Amino acid sequence: MSSNLDPNQGGDEKKKTYHKQATGLALKTVQAHSSESSLKLYGSCFCPFVHRVWISLEHKQLEYEYVEVDVYRKPKLLLDINPRGLVPALRHGDWGSYESTVLMEYLEDLGGNVALLSKDPKVRAHSRLWSDHINRHIIPVFYRYLQAQEAKDQASFAKDLTEQIATLVSAAEKSGPFFLGEEMTFVDVQIAPWVIRLEKVLKPYRGWPEPEPGSRWEKWVRAIEGNEAVKNTTSDDQLYLDSYERYAENRPNTSQVREAINSGRGLP
């Protein structure tokens, strides 16, 4: 096998693999945050969990350095923060941590120009509850649907995903456009990377439909897609098509997420 091929390609250079550099507006954002900073985000440009933290950093207008890593080759600088070698990982001075939701909470504690969590304890709890719904019930089904190879399984997971999104939408503030109203907050950032990937990954690979015109879901999707922090951390379409082909074909050596989904375990 050529050393230039990734394990998920199985020795076939015609198979697409994950990109190792952002493109489009996301690349411009990487370049704008390439200078040394005490706050560093270690990420991979295709990863939706990284995307969450990156959106948070941009939306909160915090000073940070973006460091692209090839997570499947697990560089030491990443392993020093997260022994499992997963992204996102954050280093702040001599301290480091990982897990996207934990890092989003940490950035809230740092402050910044914009708060994603309310000062009202009840609203904060409400946001955490529905973030948990996203992590437990929407994201795993997204991957099950994408990885399913049989038409009947795809139909079943498409129905499940539609129902789980509908449950989330039913909990959102009625007029929107975001989850709690006019401003983007914590729950919106939690779901945003998968909203982008419904369009850029599930639509081309599995025929995921456009939101129903005039629906609350359409209003929410368009608000997320139009947000500056989301746009500035999103690459061009081809990056997502190439990077997610391995999931759509359910290839071995794709990721720990794939292995967890196939074995019925929770996400890593």
- The residue extents of the domains of the chain are 24-110, 121-263
Q: To the nearest 10°, the Cα dihedral for 193, 194, 197, 201?
A: 140
What's 121-263's CATH class? mainly alpha
User: What integer pLDDT is reported at residue 18 of this predicted model?
Assistant: 84
How far apart are alpha carbons 121 and 264 in whole angstroms? Answer: 34
The C-alpha atoms of residue 32 and residue 64 are separated, in whole angstroms, by: 10
The predicted model gives 232-254 an average pLDDT of 89
The residue-averaged pLDDT of 60-82 equals: 93
For residue 2, is pLDDT > 50? no
pLDDT in the model for residue 129: 98
256/148: higher pLDDT: 148
**Comparison of pLDDT for 251 and 137, the residue scoring more:** 137
Is there a shared CATH topology between the 24-110 domain and the 121-263 domain?
no
Please identify, in words, the CATH class of the domain defined by 24-110: alpha beta
Residue 58 has pLDDT above 90, yes or no: yes
pLDDT at 57: 98
Model pLDDT, residue 267: 62
